[in-house]
Structure 1
Amino acid sequence: MTSLSDLHYIREFVQIADSGSISGAAKVLGMAQPTLSRHLASLEAQIGAPLVRRDTHSMSLTDAGMIVLSDARELLTLADRMGSRLRSERRALRGHLRMVSVVDVGQWIVSRVLSRFQKLHLGVSTELHLINRPTKFIKEGFDCGIMVGAPTDRRVTLRKIAQIHRRLVAAPSLLKYHSLPTRPDDLYRMPWLGILQPHFYSRDRVELERSRQVKKLKLSPVMLLDTVTALREAAIEGAGFTILPEWMAGRDITAGRLVQLLPDWHLAPIDLQIAHAAHEHLPQRVKSLIEYLEQELPLEIHRLDLNER
C-alpha cells in the first residue's frame, strides 16, 4: 500500500474501530455508510484478509484487524508528525539569498533592513553585493536587487518601492571663494562634482524646478567619483558642489559641514526600485525577502530623513 488513498482508507479503518461500527464511523467522518463500506472492502482486499467481523447486531475486529489496527495507529502518528514538520519547514524559511544593490543605498539602507530580515529567519543565509556598474542580473545569479534608474537587464521585473529626495549642496569653505548662488546660472562659475555611473543623476546635467519654471544646466565636472558617499566626502572638503540624497545630506547641513544651495529650487526625486527574475515561480525565501524589502525600505528611508534633519 503506497498511494495516498491507502492512507485515507487506513485512517477510516481506525475510526471504524474507535466508533465500534461502520455507521458510527461514517457519521464522524461525514461520509455515506455504503461508501465507507466499499473503502473498507478495498483495504481488506489489498491486505488479503478480513479486518472486521460483521454480525447482525455487533461488529468486532478479526485477529488480522487487531494487528493492522496497532500498526495503523503508529503509521498515522508518523504521517501526522511528518505533515506537521513539512508545514513547519514551509513556515520557517531555509536556504541562501544573493542580493545586489547600488552602492550607497546598499551601505546606508539595505544592509540595515537585510540584517533585520536575517534575524527574523535564522535558517536563511544572505549575501549583499554593492555594485554601481550595470549588472547582468540573471546571469550573475542574483535573487533580487535594489536599483536606481533605467533597467539594465530585460529579463527582470522592476517595481517602484520608494522615492529618494535630493539636495544641491556645497561646503562653507567653497563658498568663501564662490559667493552663494542666488539663481541657477550662478552655478556655472562653481566647480561641479559628478558621478561616474548615472544612477542618482547625470554626470554633467542638472535640472532644477520652481513653480512652473524648469532650468536645465549642462556642467563640466572637475571630478568624477564612483559613489555618492565619495561625492559627499569630496563636497565636505570643498572640492566642488554636488547633489546628495536627503538622508545623506541632512545631518551635514544641520552640523554646518554643508550648505544647501538654491533652496527655492527643487530637484525631481528619483525612484528606488526592486528587481527580481521575471517569472512567477520564485522560491518562498525570495518572495518573503521581496515582501519585507517593499515594506521596510521606505520606512528606513523615512527614518533616515527624519534623523538627518
Structure 2
Amino acid sequence: MDTLRLMHLFTRAIDLGSLSAVAREAGTTQPTVSKAINALEAHLGVRLLERSTTGLLATAEGVRFHERARRLLDEYEDALAEVRGHARQATGMLRVNAPVALGQFHLNALAQDFLALHPQIEIELILNDRFVDLVGDGVDVAVRLGGPLPPDAVARTLAASPRWLVAAPSYLAAHARLKKPDDLARHDFLRFAWLADGDDITLQRGEELVRVTTRGRYRVNNALAIRDSLLAGAGIGMCPHWLVHDMLRSGRLARVLPAWSGTPQQLALVYPSRRYQPARARLFMDFLAARIGALPGWTATPA
C-alpha cells in the first residue's frame, strides 16, 4: 500500500472539497480517488470523510488526521529536496485567518501579490473577528491585531499602528467642543464590543497617562461597522491609523484631542507551536514582514 499517496489524495480532498477536483488534479478518475480514501480509512480503522450530495465533510478524526498528514507530507517533500541537494519549490494549501477589516483593506491584495510570486501555492483566506483554534481549524498562519495571544502558539510581531480619537466633522460641529480627555464622558463613544477594559480607555500625551471612562449606546464587533458609524456622525471612536488614514486625509473624519493618543495597535503573525513549519508558511510570513510596515498607517517593528 502506497500510504503516502493515499494520504496525499485525502489531504487534497479536504483542501479542494471535492473528489472530482482531486481526480482532475491527479489525472485519474473520481472512483479511483474514492477507493483510495476508502483504503486509507480501512488501514486506519476510522472514518475520515462523510460523503453527501452537497460535498465532503471531514469527521472529527479526519480533521485531526488531516493536520498531521499535511505536516508529514510537507516534511517528506522537504527531506527529499534536501537529500537531492536543491531547494524545493513551495507548494500546497496555505490557510490564513485574519480580521475582516484588515483582510479587506490589506491582506486580500497582498495575498494576490504572493500568489503571483508562487504559482504552486494555494491560499484559503478566512476573514472573521474571532480568535480561531489554530490546530483544530487547520490554520497555518493567523494575523492578530492587539489583544492576548493564544498560549499554545508562536507569535511574530511585524508592525504597529497609532490609535487616535476620531469623529466626523458633522458630529463635532453639533456637539460641545472637547478640551481635555475628561470631556469624552459627555459624548457618544463608539467602541468595539467585548473589550477587556469595557468603557475605560487610556490616553497618552508624552509621558502623561490618563484613564477615562467613556459612555456610549452602541458597540459592535466589526471594525468596518465602527468606521461606517463614525462617518455617519454617530459619535467619537478610538481607531488605529491604518483603518481611517484615507478618511482623515480626505477630511471626512477629523482627529479629536490630537495631542492625545491611545496605545498603538500591534500586528502579529501567530502560528501553531511546533518545530516544523511548512515552506509555504515561512515564505508567506517573510513576505508579510517585508510588506506590512510600508503600508499606510503602519510602522514596521524591528525584528
Q: 1: CA distance between counterparts of 2:259 and 2:149? A: 34
Q: Which residue does the alignment assign to 1:154?
A: 151
* Amino acid across the alignment from 1:276: Y
- The equivalent residue for 1:73 is none
Q: Matched residues in 2 for 1:190 and 1:119: separation?
A: 47
Provide the rounded CA distance (Å) in 2 between the counterparts of 1:197 and 1:287.
Answer: 32
Q: 1:257 aligned to 234, 252, 255, which one?
A: 252
Q: Is the 8 A contact 2:238 2:262 kept in 1?
A: no
Q: 1:51-110, CA deviations, whole angstroms, 9 ceiling, x for partnerless residues?
A: xxxxxxxxxxxxxxxxxxxxxxxxxxxxxxx989x767x442210000001222222122
The answer as to whether partners of 2:90 and 2:280 remain within 8 angstroms in 1 is: yes
TM-aligned CA distance change 1:153 to 1:121, over 3 Å: same
**Aligned twin of 2:126:** 129
Show structure 2 runs of 5+ residues with no match.
1-79
Superposed displacement of residue 297, structure 1: 1.6
Secondary structure of 1:137 counterpart: coil
Q: Per-residue CA shift, 1:156-189, capped at 9, x if unaligned? A: 1012111111211111121232122111111111
Q: Secondary structure at the match of 1:193?
A: strand
**How many pairs align?**
219
Cα 1:106–1:202 shift into 2, 3 Å = farther
1:111 aligns with 2:133: no
Partner in structure 1 of residue 216 of structure 2? 221
CA deviation vs aligned residue, 1:130-159 (integer Å, no higher than 9, x gap) = 121222121111001111234453221012
**Partner of 2:168 in structure 1?**
171
Distance in structure 2 (CA, Å) of the matches to 1:255 and 1:150: 30
CA-CA distance at 1:271 after TM superposition: 1.2
Aligned counterparts, 1:243-254, within 5 A: 243-254=238-249
Counterpart of 1:175 in 2: which secondary structure? Answer: helix
Q: 1:298 to 1:202 in 2, by over 3 A?
A: farther
Secondary structure in 1 matching 2:202 = strand
Q: CA RMSD in A?
A: 2.3
1:293 paired residue among 273, 281, 288: 288
Larger radius of gyration: 1
Q: CA deviation at 1:248?
A: 2.5
**Counterpart in 1 of 2:10?**
none
Length-normalised TM-score, structure 2: 0.67
Query: Are 1:278 and 2:295 counterparts?
Result: no
CA gap of 1:101–1:236, structure 2 versus 1, over 3 A, is same
Residue pair 2:245, 2:296 contacting (<8 A) in 1 also: no
Shift of 1:205: 1.9
AA of the residue aligned to 1:183 = K
Post-superposition Cα deviations, 1:216-248, rounded to whole Å, max 9, x if no partner, equal: 012232111121121111011111110122123
Residue of structure 2 equivalent to 1:183: 180
Partner Cα separation in structure 2 for residue 279 and residue 150 of structure 1: 22
Unaligned segments of structure 1, at least 5 residues? 1-81
Quickly say closer, same or farther: Cα 1:216–1:83, change in 2 above 3 A.
closer
Correspondence 1:1-309 to 2 at 5 A: 90-198=87-195, 202-301=197-296
Cα distance in 2 for partners of 1:83, 1:150 equals 39
Question: 1:6-31, CA deviations, whole angstroms, 9 ceiling, x for partnerless residues?
Answer: xxxxxxxxxxxxxxxxxxxxxxxxxx
Question: Is contact 1:180-1:261 (8 Å) kept?
Answer: no
**Structure 2 SS opposite 1:221:** coil
Instruction: Name the CA distance, whole Å, in 2 between partners of 1:280 and 1:299.
Output: 30
Q: Which residue type is aligned with residue 228 of structure 1?
A: A
| 1:229–1:203 distance in 2 versus 1, CA, 3 Å | farther
C-alpha distance in structure 2 between counterparts of 1:285 and 1:225, whole Å: 35
**C-alpha contact 1:132 1:197 (8 A) present in aligned 2:** no
Secondary structure of the 2:139 match is coil
SS in 1 for 2:174: coil
CA contact (8 A) 1:135 1:152 kept: no
Residues 273 and 197 of structure 1: is their aligned pair in 2 closer, same or farther, counting only changes over 3 Å? Answer: farther
Amino acid at match of 2:215: S
